[in-house]
Amino acid sequence: MTAEPVLLRERIGDILIATLNRPRKGNSINNELMASLGDLAGELHQQAGEPGAPRALILTGSGDRAFSAGADINNLVGLTKRNAVEQMRTGQIFFDMLEDAPQVVIAAINGVALGGGLELAMACDLRVASPNAKLGQPEITLANIPGWGGTQRLPRLIGEGRALELILTGEPVDAAEAHRLGLVNTVAENPLAAAVDLADRILTRSAYAVDRAKQAVYTGVRHGIGRGLEAEAALVGECSTSPEQRAAVQAFFDRKKTAPAGKEPR
């Protein structure tokens, strides 16, 4: 009997839903699943702009208990220093690829997102969590630290003080607190449906502009406001000469011509 894939895929229109599929292991990320995530990230970059390619990706977990409980501990046993560094760099590179994808990437957090699971969710552009979700970086309880971007993305999202508290205590927060901190964008009873709705709203916007907006934000986050402002200006220049932007401006003026007196078009 053929084993089920560790990463399931489903298309809903322009949205690709990828489901971490190791429910008996809390959808923990082993080497096979990490490789599948890397393949997926690579495809997003290669297919961008092609006819029929997905314009949004939603990541979620199989079952109703876990988005991902983190790295599979079995893959961490007996690691040499060199092996550990290589394993962490591989995950960091793949998660960076997801973050840098031209498409909008949304995490539908349907349960616990711990350790590497939270690091994966933070590599997404947006996060929607179920009310029963728990989010945290418990690596310190195993005498280690986050290695797939947690020490960098968590402070970026919630500030250094609270990030250090979560990292140094290893204690998780519930969905309501995660929302208050800005770690998740919204809490919804059905996070996958809410993520699809959010993606649909973004898909009404220019795909070209969505990609450039992501580039501008992440350039500033990674390299500081000076580089970010330079990138922002350059990317506005790119958008200003795109057929989509010119069509949108013309449509605005066309609506303005036909709008009743005293009412501005939206």
Q: Is there a contact between 120 and 148 (Cβ–Cβ < 8 Å)?
A: yes
Q: Is there a contact between 51 and 60 (Cβ–Cβ < 8 Å)?
A: no
C-alpha–C-alpha distance, residues 109 and 68, integer Å: 8
Show which residues are catalytic: 119, 139
Distances (CA, A) of 41 to 7, 17, 48, 75, 87: 12, 13, 11, 22, 17
Q: Is there a contact between 164 and 150 (Cβ–Cβ < 8 Å)?
A: no
Over 207-238, what HEC string results? HHHHHHHHHHHHHHHHHCHHHHHHHHHHHHHH
Cα angle value 263/265/266 (rounded, 5°): 125
Task: Find tokens 């309501």 and name the residue.
Answer: 176
**DSSP structural state of residue 141:** G
Hey, what amino acid is at 152? Answer: Q
DSSP 150-179: HHHHHHHHH-HHHHHHHHHH---EEHHHHH
